[in-house]
Amino acid sequence: MKTVLLNKKTSVVLKPIAPYNFDATVHKPSHFPTPDHIWEKGKYWQTTRIQGKILGFKLENQGTIKNPEIKVSLFSKNSLAPETKQKAIEKISYQFGFNEDLREFYEKFKRDKVLAPFFKRFLGMRVNSGEVGLYTMLMVYIVLQNATVRRTVQMMNALLGKYGKKVGFDKKEIYVFWTPEILDRASEEDLRNLKVGYRAKFLKRISSDFVQGKINEEAIKGLPKKEAQKELLKLYGIGPASVGYLLFEVCHHYDVFEIIPPWEQKILSRLIYNKSLVPTKKILKDIENRWDGWKRLAIHYIWEDIFWKRKTQKIDWLEKEIRL
């Protein structure tokens, strides 16, 4: 595969709304690894597409949690038009929540016995809207269905190797995701040859719906929570659990927490109750009573903490659930 070189560079310094935790926002240890991004402490590289153009971007932390400042560098094959540069900055700012004000959340729960310790470690952490957009996140959730994390990684790497592009910028080499048009042109048989199984039909159908304009990401993101949920549930092959994640990660609705998959039930039982298994009804009811208005964001803080710990220590019970 020929590497697309992006040698043109332009940079801008942005100031997110404080407090802002750079590393805890850009790097999510709970996400399964995909070769379209690289994280090092204080730095982050990723690929994206803007107006049909392949771009790389680098984020550099130049501030503090209380006084955040981030240098955003865009890398392209040719010089960027001002409009393209602006759209890229807007997309990146949305992905990493630069302009989101979470002070109400911190003020409301600063004395909460469960959340307060996590605030000490991760104050200013935002959601990271995954791989920059609804389409790519749908691809991710389709390959996550009924598969271990190890199996999911195998499928995603095979898809990126076949339909993605390798991109080189800032002395890094990573992949950029395929477009809906690319997968729409592929046959279902070609996809099945990559050992994605029944998911081939879902990948094809979602891609086709994007190509035909049946799915409007910006319109969905602009809808109230319940209406956005209704639209996302119409998507072929996407169930209620995936919709819950999409509402949080792509649409930034922070109070969506209605379904707990079995493996998450086991992990939350350990993290919140220190028990091996607590009924989902009890977990949902307790979370509703305790963190109403911010349920999903509250769980995000609890959830990410254990996966950050996993980076430096072995947690046997967690490894059994992840199976990476």
Decide: 318 and 37 in contact? Cβ < 8 Å. Answer: no
HSE (CB half, 13 Å, CA atoms) of 247? 29
pLDDT (tens place) for every residue of the chain, 324 residues total: 799 999 999 999 999 999 999 999 999 999 888 899 999 999 999 999 998 899 999 999 999 999 999 999 999 999 999 999 999 999 999 999 999 999 999 999 999 999 999 999 999 999 987 666 899 999 999 998 888 888 999 999 999 999 999 999 999 999 999 999 999 999 999 999 999 999 999 999 999 999 999 999 999 999 999 999 999 999 998 999 999 999 999 999 999 999 998 989 999 999 999 999 999 999 999 999 999 999 999 999 999 999 999 999 999 888 888 765
β-sheet with 172-176: strand ranges across: 3-5, 165-169, 172-176
What pLDDT, on the 0 to 100 scale, is given for residue 321? 81
What pLDDT, on the 0 to 100 scale, is given for residue 271? 94
What pLDDT, on the 0 to 100 scale, is given for residue 43? 98
What pLDDT, on the 0 to 100 scale, is given for residue 185? 96
Please report the sign of the dihedral spanned by the C-alpha atoms of residue 120, residue 89, residue 133, residue 174.
negative
Burial of 9 (0-12, 13-18, 19+ CB in 10 A): middle
Tokens of 118: 């996590």
CA distance 319 to 324: 8
CA distance 141 to 152: 9
Burial of 20 (0-12, 13-18, 19+ CB in 10 A): buried
Q: Is 6 left (phi over 0), alpha (psi -120 to 50) or beta?
A: beta
CA distance 195 to 151: 10
CA distance 114 to 302: 8
Tokens 């994390």 correspond to what residue? Answer: 149
Q: What does pTM read for this prediction?
A: 0.94
Domains of the chain in start order, with CATH, are 3-98 (3.30.310), 134-249 (1.10.340.30)
Paired sense of beta strands 37-40 and 165-169, if any: unpaired
Side chain identity at residue 94, one-letter code: Y
